[in-house]
């Protein structure tokens, strides 16, 4: 019933889904470009329309009262970005411990323009041995664009360039440039 409601809501809002999620039990979804609070709302509606239980990480402030219960109920887990914690290992363990686990992340980490995307999702995918599914929120076409899964090769330079190239064809609500990938040592 919820899936039909979300499908109807997407239709009412003029959005459609191009592509489909894989029928795998585990994977990481990167969602970009992240330019507006509407990204989350459209993403939650699309997730409902697809009928998938997909978890997400969010800044810890979202999980404080009065709304914290809501974000947890819809699959969220808080991340305190002020602390230097080993998030890669913690999230990898979620994939190991759960037979069916899908996680959506915004690799930009913020709605503001950035010169470099965070690569934690890539390291999680490698350690957990799960594919990466790139999903774009294209506001210019009102499309949720889902690409085929990418199996991380271990060559972060090559794989990140493939991922970033996909997003260069996607326009966020407030368009911004997708940066080049430069590996830091």
Q: What is the pLDDT of residue 76?
A: 82
Reply yes or no on whether the pLDDT at 185 is more than 60: no
Can you give the length of the chain in residues?
A: 185
Beta bridge partner(s), residue 144? 17, 137
Reply yes or no on whether the pLDDT at 163 is more than 90: yes
- Average pLDDT for 10-25: 96
Q: Is 172:139 a contact under the CB 8 Å cutoff?
A: yes
- Average pLDDT for 130-148: 97
Q: Could you read off the pLDDT of 56-115 as tens digits, one per residue? A: 877 778 888 988 888 888 888 777 666 566 788 888 888 998 899 999 998 886 667 777
In whole angstroms, give the CA distance from residue 134 to residue 21.
10
More confident residue, 126 or 116: 126
In 62-142, beta strands by DSSP E: 76-79, 101-105, 132-138
The residue behind tokens 């009065």 is 66
In whole angstroms, give the CA distance from residue 114 to residue 120.
15
In whole angstroms, give the CA distance from residue 22 to residue 107.
20
In whole angstroms, give the CA distance from residue 137 to residue 6.
16
Task: Give the model's confidence band at 38: pLDDT under 50 very low, under 70 low, under 90 confident, else very high.
Answer: very high
More confident residue, 95 or 183: 95
Terminal-residue alpha carbon distance, the chain? 49
Beta bridge partner(s), residue 101? 26
Q: What is the pLDDT of residue 73?
A: 83
């Amino acid at each position: 019933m919820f899936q039909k409601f979300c499908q109807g809501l997407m239709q009412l809002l003029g959005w459609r889904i191009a592509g489909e999620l894989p029928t795998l039990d585990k994977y990481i979804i990167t969602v970009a470009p992240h330019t507006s609070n509407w990204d989350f709302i459209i993403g939650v509606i699309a997730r409902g329309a697809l009928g998938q239980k997909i978890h997400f990480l969010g800044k810890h402030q979202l999980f404080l009262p009065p709304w914290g219960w809501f974000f947890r109920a819809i699959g969220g887990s808080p991340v305190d970005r002020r602390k230097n914690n080993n998030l890669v290992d913690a999230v990898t363990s979620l994939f190991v411990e759960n037979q069916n686990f899908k996680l959506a992340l915004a690799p930009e980490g913020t709605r503001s323009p950035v010169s470099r995307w965070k690569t934690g999702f890539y390291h999680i995918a490698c350690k957990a041995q799960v594919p990466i599914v790139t999903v774009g929120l294209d506001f210019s076409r009102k499309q949720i664009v889902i690409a085929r899964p990418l199996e991380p090769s271990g060559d972060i330079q090559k794989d990140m360039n493939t991922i970033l190239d996909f997003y260069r064809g996607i326009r966020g609500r407030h368009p911004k440039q997708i940066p080049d990938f430069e590996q830091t040592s």
